[in-house]
Amino acid sequence: MIEMYLLEQLCAFKEYGTLSEAAEHLNIAQPSVSRAMKKLEDELGVALFERQKNKIVLNQTGLLAAEYAKRILDEERNMEAQIKAFDRSLHTVNIGSIAPGPLMVLLPRLTALFADKVVSSDIETEEALLQKLNRNDYRFIILNRPLDDEKYICKEYITEQLYISVNHFHPIATQKSVTFAEADGQHFIMYSRVGFWENIVKEKMPSANFYKQENLEAVGEIAANSDLPSFSTNITQKILPSRQNGRINVPFSNPEAKANYYLICLSENKRMIKDLL
Amino acid sequence: MIEMYLLEQLCAFKEYGTLSEAAEHLNIAQPSVSRAMKKLEDELGVALFERQKNKIVLNQTGLLAAEYAKRILDEERNMEAQIKAFDRSLHTVNIGSIAPGPLMVLLPRLTALFADKVVSSDIETEEALLQKLNRNDYRFIILNRPLDDEKYICKEYITEQLYISVNHFHPIATQKSVTFAEADGQHFIMYSRVGFWENIVKEKMPSANFYKQENLEAVGEIAANSDLPSFSTNITQKILPSRQNGRINVPFSNPEAKANYYLICLSENKRMIKDLL
DNA sequence: ATCACTTACGGGTGACGTAAAAATC
DNA sequence: GATTTTTACGTCACCCGTAAGTGAT
């Protein structure tokens, strides 16, 4: 049987042209490659090279062999990658969401439910979420609209209401509710990974400025130490109570400020949704 | 890098179900297989088996790995076969002919021309000859009709005239020539691999019997020691003079008893025909 | 003189075998 | 008791490296 290391060295020789160069790139000594090529010829019982005294080149058969070798090496590398990826997928639960809010509620429950697995999540657009769900990159996704398709299982999960978060001195602080139009034109501190909410607020408050923060902690810190408004929701108010110190939350009254979230998975994974609910 | 012997042992385990059985079929000791499977898991950094105290089975990842392993092993075996076949083809010149006669003339010349190669030949039907010529299984073929096709180079080679070969006491021995009709109904000794001639004589002498001999030598021997007629041609008379002892050769006068042979090769191999003529 | 390949020799990894133990049927 | 897997240990193959030699540029 032809072992991989022989094929690897053959490929390296074809690529680099001389035994020395090949050895260099393989990080082995040159005589090793010389010997390996002899061994390859020996095992195949076929000449793969034309040798002069201090020169060696692949003959026609050798070129053919090198092509096959490359194919096999590629497949071997592919095998390795696929197996590792598959194993990883067995040990991780990937969740994609259209917004961070529902993840704050869902992730703690998931880590408890899949105690033996790594739970990881990402926030993406609906399009990307669906694509990856179909590729099985995600086990669940969370969207802000239901999907009516036999391909999927879709369950209503939770709702989220957007608030403006201001300090006591802010004019809006005294209102029972606020509209996007009323809040427009201001400067907001905003977490950068808010998913679809970003589109909503930018569209509804076209004159506002948004200072985006990559770091979730930083949003709270900066808001607490400035007079700038920020955003909160019924979910962040519960999950991040520390952020509420000295802040008044006033709900946006527009219908777009309320989101109904749906937990979605492929029909074939029906059981997972059941376990979760 | 995952070496082949690991993949081989993985496949054997998948096929035979236990380490012991696999080892048996691989002709190695069972602990070797146990160790190899551990090493495989180690190199991949992934569990491929579920182990109980004296039981070991492939897990989902292991099944996937075994599938990939099989694919790679198959490719490796294919590579080996293809390379050997290619090398062989470089060192052999295969000729196919519609009849043995022209080969008797051509082969000695070919072996001289391709002194460094093995010359081998076969007798087949026109259909098979053309198919294999197109597949490059044959470098030349010999047919009894010209081919007018740009794909091929076609050169007239030699002609062959069929004779009936009888002893002095046979009634036909005194004739200058004979027709198939006149010779019909007799029992002939015949070499079994005469190519298209077999169709000719069977069609033209439907009442004759043909005693076919696999061995070319035997045809001469038997004919010499019996009163049965056999066949000869201008070519065999020259190439196998010993067969003529005590035999009279009378030519068949029918036009079908004369064959014009053509040497044919693919246009891309034009040079070879030139070398030959 | 430098470069490229081969040959020769020595060393260490590792693949295999044998033996024995543990566990299951 | 038979079968299966694992562990332990010794051996040998073989893959690699170093060093030296040959031939070509």
CB atoms A1 and B46 under 8 Å: no
Q: What is the pLDDT of residue A3?
A: 94
Burial of B242 (0-12, 13-18, 19+ CB in 10 A): exposed
Q: Is A265 in contact with A132 (CB distance < 8 Å)?
A: no
Mean pLDDT score across all residues of chain A: 93
Distance, CA of A1 to C1' of D15, in Å: 16
The whole-number pLDDT of residue B271 equals 84
Following CA atoms B154, B157, B159, B160 in sequence, which dihedral angle do they give, to the nearest 10 degrees? -100
- Residue A147 reports pLDDT greater than 80: yes
Residues B91-148 pLDDT 10s? 999 999 999 999 999 999 999 988 889 999 999 999 999 999 999 899 999 999 999 9
Higher-confidence residue of B37 and B244: namely B37
Q: How many angstroms away from the CA of B9 is the closest CA of chain A? A: 12
For A89, the closest chain B residue by CA position comes to: B61
How many Å does it take to go from CA A9 to C1' C12? 21
- Whether residue A276 is predicted with pLDDT greater than 80 in this model: the reply is no
Closest nucleotide relative to residue A29's CA, C1' based: D17
- Check residues 10 to 39 of chain A and report those whose beta carbon is under 7 Å from nucleic acid strand C: 18-21, 30-31, 34-35, 37-38
Is the separation of the CB atoms in A142 and A103 below 8 Å? yes
Within 7 Å of a protein beta carbon, the nucleotides of strand D are 3-8, 15-20, 22-24
Both structure tokens of B174 = 């005194």
CA A137 to C1' D6, whole Å: 38
Closest residue to A2, CB basis, from B4, B46, B82? B4
pLDDT in tens, B43-70: 999 999 999 888 899 999 999 999 999 9
Exposure string for A152-179, b = 16+ CB within 10 A, e = fewer: bbbeebbebbbbbbbbeebebbebeebe
Which nucleotide is at minimal CA–C1' distance from A23?
D16
Q: How far is B77 from chain A (nearest CA, A)?
A: 8
Name the pLDDT band for A220 (thresholds 50, 70, 90): confident
Q: If pLDDT is split at 50, 70 and 90, which confidence band does A225 have?
A: confident
Task: Note the CA–C1' distance, A35 to C25, in angstroms.
Answer: 51
Per-residue confidence band for A218, with pLDDT thresholds at 50, 70 and 90: confident
- The pLDDT of B145-159, averaged and rounded, is 93
pLDDT of residue B161: 97
Cβ of B75 within 8 Å of Cβ of A79? The answer is no
pLDDT on residue B214: 93
A165 pLDDT band, cuts 50/70/90, is: very high
Secondary structure letter of residue A220 according to DSSP:
H
**pLDDT over 70 for what percent of chain B?**
100
Determine the distance in angstroms separating the CA of B26 from the nearest CA of chain A, rounded to an integer. Answer: 12
Q: What's the rounded Cα separation, in Å, for the pair B223 and B164?
A: 12
- Counting runs of H as helices and runs of E as strands, what totals does chain B give? 11, 11
Residue A277 pLDDT > 80: no
Strands (DSSP E) found in B206-246: 209-213, 230-233
**Class of residue B19 by CB neighbours under 10 A (exposed 0-12, middle 13-18, buried 19+):** buried
Helix (H, G, I), strand (E, B) or coil at A183: helix
Quote the Cα angle for A232-A236-A240, to 5°: 115
Which region holds residue A195: left if phi is over 0, alpha if psi is between -120 and 50, else beta? left
As a whole number, the mean pLDDT across chain B is 92
Q: What is the pLDDT of residue B191?
A: 95
Instruction: Give nearest nucleotide to B23 (CA–C1').
Output: C16
Judged by CB atoms within 8 Å, which residues 5-44 of B form the interface with A?
5, 8, 44
Among chain B residues, the shortest Cα distance to A48 is held by: B87
Which pLDDT score, from 0 to 100, does residue A54 have?
85
pLDDT at position B70:
95
CA distance A81 to B45: 11
Identify the helix (H) or strand (E) that includes residue B128: helix B126-134
Closest-approach residue (CA) in chain B for A5: B3
Confidence of residue A222 (pLDDT cuts 50, 70, 90): confident
Biggest alpha carbon–alpha carbon distance for chain A? 95
Contact A75 B80 (CB under 8 A): no
- Which tens digit of pLDDT belongs to each residue from A187-215? 999 999 999 999 999 999 999 999 999 99
Record: contact B69-A79, CB cut-off 8 A: yes
Q: B2–A46: do the CB atoms touch at under 8 Å?
A: no
Instruction: Provide, in whole angstroms, the distance separating residue A50's CA from nucleotide D17's C1'.
Output: 26
Strand A92-97 versus strand A118-123 pairing type? parallel
Q: How far is the CA of A39 from the C1' of D13 (A)?
A: 14
Residues in chain A: 277
Residue B275's pLDDT is 78
Predicted pLDDT of residue A104? 95
Please indicate whether, in this complex, the C-beta atoms of B79 and A69 are within 8 angstroms of each other: yes
